[in-house]
Amino acid sequence: MDLAALTIFRAVVRENGVTRAAAKLNRVQSNVTTRIKQLEEQLGTDLFIRDGRRLVLTPAGETLLPYAERLLALADEARHAVREDRPSGRLRLGTMESVAATRLPALLARYHQQWPAVALELETGTTGKLIERVREFEVDAALVATPLDPAVLGEIFEWVPVFTEELVMLTPRGHRPIHDVQDIALSTLVAFERGCAYRAYIEKWYLEHGVRPARVLELGSYHAIVACVAAGAGVAVAPRSVLDLQADASNIAVHELPDIGMVETLLVWRRGHFSSALNALKQAMVAPENAANLPELAATAEGSS
């Protein structure tokens, strides 16, 4: 097996077919098909079966995929290792939407100016999805909220805290002050899908007070969430920093949540899967202007990194 063949195999899986994989890799379809057949001959087994117009992984293909991911990730790491003095190559970064909108624009602009040889790829998702993406080598690192159960990071991850967010509750303007769950006048919680760490924190807070939201309205952006709250559709929880992005927040009220308080944003990566590009990003994020007020978790991170 060579790395080029594994790259083609992975692309066919990710792009759900030869046509899109060929376009992604800037190859002709016949070349992609030939390389897959050669790989199957080398391994002595079929990797795909055709189901109508779809290509579906065989059990052997399912077995090969995580090995391919690990081998390609290790090859990337080796390429970076021999060029430690000058970050370069591709860096795939996952991030929560709130961090992408509030924390990253200026920071990544500075990073690009300093290290123009790094091709940075950015994708957004919930904390749960991003941790899984790092686990499966689909991104090199991710910015996630400290999980409600930090044990989900397990022993395969390393991390360092980089930002501190204050979670607040958003309600329509004119809502009475909120001291506990019983003060919430609306029964609908507006939130991201499950896997969002902030949603997990607020749902735990509800349950600790013996209350469940009558309904959870799931939306995919903070702009939409704030708009629904302003319209009286429900209440929401968000980092206070997100409110600075709202063109008009006059129709919402902001309530502190002292029972939840501050939640750390972590930069996480798989243990041993590190590069000069990722190290440069880590250093930029833990610079003094970004790392104020980090709690004891920083000491833990230093031990793990």
Match domain 165-262 to its CATH number in 3.90.1200.10, 3.40.190.10, 3.60.21.10, 3.40.50.200: 3.40.190.10
Question: How would you label 150-188 residue by residue, b for 16+ Cβ within 10 Å and e otherwise?
Answer: eeebeeebbbbbbbbbebbbbbbeebeebeebeebebeb
Residue range(s) occupied by CATH 3.40.190.10 in the chain: 83-163+264-304, 165-262
Is residue 143 classed as helix, strand or coil in its secondary structure? strand
Domain 3-79 has CATH 1.10.10.10: yes
CA distance 172 to 175: 6
- For residue 302, the model assigns a pLDDT of 36
Confidence of residue 291 (pLDDT cuts 50, 70, 90): very low
- For residue 303, the model assigns a pLDDT of 37
User: What would the mean pLDDT of 185-208 be, rounded to a whole number?
Assistant: 93
Which of 131-135, 286-290, 292-296 is the least confident region?
Answer: 292-296
Give bridge partners of residue 184 from the DSSP assignment: none
Confidence of residue 137 (pLDDT cuts 50, 70, 90): confident
CA distance 16 to 14: 6
- For residue 301, the model assigns a pLDDT of 37
User: What would the mean pLDDT of 193-221 be, rounded to a whole number?
Assistant: 92
Match domain 83-163+264-304 to its CATH number in 3.20.20.140, 3.30.1130.10, 3.40.190.10, 3.30.1360.170: 3.40.190.10
Confidence of residue 151 (pLDDT cuts 50, 70, 90): confident
- For residue 146, the model assigns a pLDDT of 94
Map tokens 């390393």 to a residue.
Answer: 158
Report whether 96 contacts 126 (CB < 8 A).
yes
